[in-house]
Amino acid sequence: MTPETDVRPATGREWLPAALRGRHMQRWLHVSLPLLIAFSVAQLSKSSIGVIVADRAFSHQFGLDVHPGSVGWLTSLFLYAYGIALFAWGFILKRLGPRTSMLIGTGIWVVALALPPFVNSLGELYGTRILLAVGEACFYPVAHTLTARWFPMNERARANASWLSGIFVGSALGSVLTTTMLTAFSWRATFLSQALIAAVFAFCVVLALLQDQPEKAHGVSAEEVNHIVEGRFESTTVVPKRGPESPFRNYRYWLTMLMYVGTNAPFYGLVTWAPLYLQQERHVELSDIGVVLTVANVLSIVVMVLVGRASDRTVRRAGWAAWGFVIEGVGIAGTVLFSNAGVDSFFIFLGLAGNAWCVVTNWSLLHSLMPTHQSEYSSSVFSSITNLVGATLPALVGILLTATGSYTAGFGLMFVTVLISLGCCLVLRPQGY
């Protein structure tokens, strides 16, 4: 049977754009599209907490106006629970497969989003954030496992960019939706609307589109399967194969993990504290803060897509990441060095754009060190440890703010993590990564 006739049965998706129905494009339909939507909705709910805490009614309800350091713990507790749950999801994913794991995780996540309007204490609010983290923790191992199974090595930056851009799509939409809902209705209506969006646009899309493996998916041609298999870690020659095959015995895997701390920690630091910083230090109105964050996130999407395409041409991720860390560091430092709202907004744009640059190159670098059959465990351990370490930063910023009365020390801490990550890039770049 020739590749021209060996085509699996039609799926009845003629309503989709031709680009996604093409016989060479099924990997983008079955993986990139549902992951993009799921990550967009996840980030919408995750990043919007930074805007919600600026709402006076919400802040007063849970005593955040009396204890401002508690704001950081809303993010940090989420990330601690997220990091611990990631270990468990690695085993669940190996046993049940990516699709089933994603459906279970998304279901937990929808319930967690619907609970905050019905709780009354700060401790109960923390509990809903922990449950949200447990459900969402499956997302990254699922995404990395599916990327390793469905995309050749020289497409993985673009593949990663396609679903990672959902982080910034969600942040951009979250800024607009959250400020609109808070202004027009209430913080309770905001949480309930997020739960509804998660149920319709994440759970249902995953149920309809996500598939485990190209070899078993309907509608994927043998030609596309061959293209994917030939470009997997085990077959490709476009990345160096240095050190042990097991990522856990290769120091480059751990160095890449350390590098990601300078991506993960500053991102959560910025999305948690930038709204309050602009409001308290620069006296920017809540509606204007939403505009600033929306523009910053749209710029980040553009950067991520362009850098993904460019880095796939050379498959040399560390050098590209180094430039991203330079831009991110300049953005973070510039935010607190000037006392003008417009200038600070520009540097926040720069910091988030540099962060987007680092995210797509850092995750693609991980794939250069991760055999396909070990993707579930190696990606879950990677995500778990980086989130547990990164989780400390939002809370530390809150502690430093309480102790010093200034944001300078907290932003300085973010800057230090970026410098460490830049050093990791400079070690890996000469090795061909």
Domain boundaries in the chain? 24-431
Can you name the CATH fold of 24-431? Answer: Growth Hormone; Chain: A; (1.20.1250)
Residue type, 212: D
Q: Is residue 182 over pLDDT 90?
A: no
Q: Is residue 6 over pLDDT 50?
A: no
Closest CA to 268 of 360, 366, 398, 362: 398
Distance between CA atoms of residues 289 and 171, nearest Å: 12
| pLDDT, mean over the chain | 84
Distance between CA atoms of residues 362 and 369, nearest Å: 11
- Predicted confidence band at 135 (pLDDT cuts at 50, 70, 90)? very high
Residues 393 and 413: beta-carbon distance below 8 Å: yes
Kindly state the tokens that stand for 410. 């907290």
Angle among Cα 303, 179, 414 to the nearest 5 degrees reads: 50
Residue with tokens 């493996």: 213
Distance between CA atoms of residues 169 and 116, nearest Å: 23
Q: How far is CA 241 from CA 217, 367, 378, in A?
A: 30, 12, 16
C-alpha atoms less than 13 angstroms from C-alpha of 42 in its C-beta half-sphere? 31
Residue 391's SS3 state is coil
Q: Is residue 231 over pLDDT 80?
A: yes
- For 349-369, b/e burial (b = at least 16 CB within 10 A) is bbbbbbbbbbbbbbbbbbbbb
Q: Is residue 1 over pLDDT 60?
A: no
pTM of the model: 0.78
pLDDT digits (tens, 9 = 90+) for 398-419: 888 888 888 888 889 999 999 9
